[in-house]
A and B are shown apart, each in its own frame.
Chain A
Amino acid sequence: MVGHSTPPFFKRGPAPLAKLVFFVIVSLGLLVSDLNLRYLDAFRQGLSVLAYPLQMAAATPADFVRNASNYFASLVRLQIENKDLKARQLQGAERLLRLDQIEQENRHLRALLGARERQAVKSVVAEIMYTAKDPFSRTVILDKGAQAGIEAGQAVVDDAGVIGQITRVFPMQAELTLLTDKDQAIPVMIVRSGLRAVLFGSGNGLMELRYLAANADIQPGDKVVTSGLDGVFLAGLPVATVARVERDQAQTFARIPCLPAAGVEQFSHVLVLGQRESLPPRPPEPELINKGKSGKGRKARAGKE
């Protein structure tokens, strides 16, 4: 029936239905262990080595389109941009000159106070190559990877603020999860009131401040910066602006959508910040009465921060 070779009589292998059940179980097992347990990163790394040449080859059309559009960018636009940048540099220069002096002064004052110094970290400049194709998450691929010293968990900023966090690292590339991704959260502080909160991506290009009481001191237009409590993001980086505040008496918490400060959904050069030195160790836990409840207690405390 099929082709010119006779179908085998005796060597048929397992029945199609048995094969189907087997592979469905295996793939569902992979899915669960990847999405919930994150066991498969090493496996993914291994297989990505196989897929890498094909991926690189496939990325060339995108590169070509990007370079071509750069090439044909009009002269006028470049001149305007150049003028704008020069003006901004002049404005910035004055502040930069003062910054050195202020930093020096800050260090002295901190030394006087006995406070820990604010850390300066090493950083790597990378370029966003393209948006990852997975339509369910908001991730982009950077052109630098483990070979440039990038590690998973590092914070990524652009010229206006935080845009996300490195989630997977490949030898030559890294995957950056944007702040607007539904699974991404970042501990923040409201500049005006000093209120601490956690900012979550809401998936539609916006972010949301959750778990703030309905009567919290917050107004539309408030600037939101990182609080640095997580030990990943440096404190004081701009993250978002409060778009509006919806207070509903029926709800315990206010609904507070925020607009990202940085060009989160744009293509540009970004700065991958180096790992921060770890925070000082937590103070010892108070005497635990019941060992079995310790895990629960830790979770509850993490929620309060």
Chain B
Amino acid sequence: MQPTNRSSRILLPVKMWFVYLTLFVALFLNYIPTGHLPAVPDFVALVLAFWCVREPLKIGIGAGFVFGLLVDIGVGAAMGQHAFAYVLLTYAANELSRRVMWFTPVEQALHVLPLLFMSQVLMVVVRLMAGAEFPGWWMFFGCFVAALLWIPLHYVLLLPQYRPVERDENRPI
């Protein structure tokens, strides 16, 4: 597997413990009580989308549901609110995986942005239907920040899979 499908570098297979470790780190970042600060990205959604695009056969809707519930409990949201949004997010990311992998990280971020935005919109719609107040447009800024974070994330999360470059005259790959 390569960093993107056009790249000629071959990566080591992903280790599942590393996937879950990064998800828990993202969960930790989501739990940091930033209150109602604008433009705080949803880290769990971002990391879930990343792994669902990278490894559609290994991680998917089930993980989205479980981590959604954990976020719901941690931030005091309605039970199932994040779970619902993440389930649809992970499904869409899994489905998009084959297409997205052909693009450079910047273009990938542009593909993921609508997904993250959609998950925010879903949560707002669900809560508004339940009679909550509209929190303001600032809560949508987070997904733009998250899309920007995709680019550094693309290198950071793949670091354990890179292997040293060995030049071999007989094997050009």
Q: Which residues of A are in contact with B by a Cβ distance under 8 Å?
A: 2-5, 7, 16, 19-20, 23-24, 26-31, 33-36, 40, 43-44, 47-48, 50-51, 54-55, 57-59, 61-62, 129-137, 139, 141, 168, 175, 182-183, 203-204
A136 near B56 (CB under 8 angstroms)? no
Contacts of A5 in B (CB 8 A): 13
B95 near A134 (CB under 8 angstroms)? no
A19 near B61 (CB under 8 angstroms)? yes
Per DSSP, chain A at the interface is helix
Q: Which residues of B are in contact with A by a Cβ distance under 8 Å?
A: 1, 13-14, 24, 27-36, 55-58, 60-62, 64-65, 68-70, 73-81, 83-84, 87-88, 91, 94-95, 126-127, 130-133, 135-136, 139
A133 near B73 (CB under 8 angstroms)? no
B74 near A51 (CB under 8 angstroms)? yes
Question: Contact check: which of A30, A35, A36, A40 meets B83 at CB < 8 Å?
Answer: A30
A139 near B76 (CB under 8 angstroms)? yes
A-B contact list, 10 entries, CB within 8 Å: A20-B88, A23-B64, A31-B78, A31-B126, A31-B130, A51-B70, A54-B31, A132-B33, A132-B75, A136-B132
Question: Contact check: which of A16, A34, A182 meets B79 at CB < 8 Å?
Answer: A34
B61 near A20 (CB under 8 angstroms)? yes
B76 near A24 (CB under 8 angstroms)? no
Bound-complex Cα distance A11 to B127 (A) = 38
Question: Contact check: which of A24, A47, A59, A135 meets B33 at CB < 8 Å?
Answer: A59
A219 to chain B, nearest CB (A): 28
Contacts of B29 in A (CB 8 A): 58
Bound-complex Cα distance A59 to B74 (A) = 11
Decide: A7 near B57, CB < 8 A? Known: A2-B1, A28-B80, A130-B35. yes
Decide: A4 near B33, CB < 8 A? Known: A19-B62, A30-B83, A48-B73. no
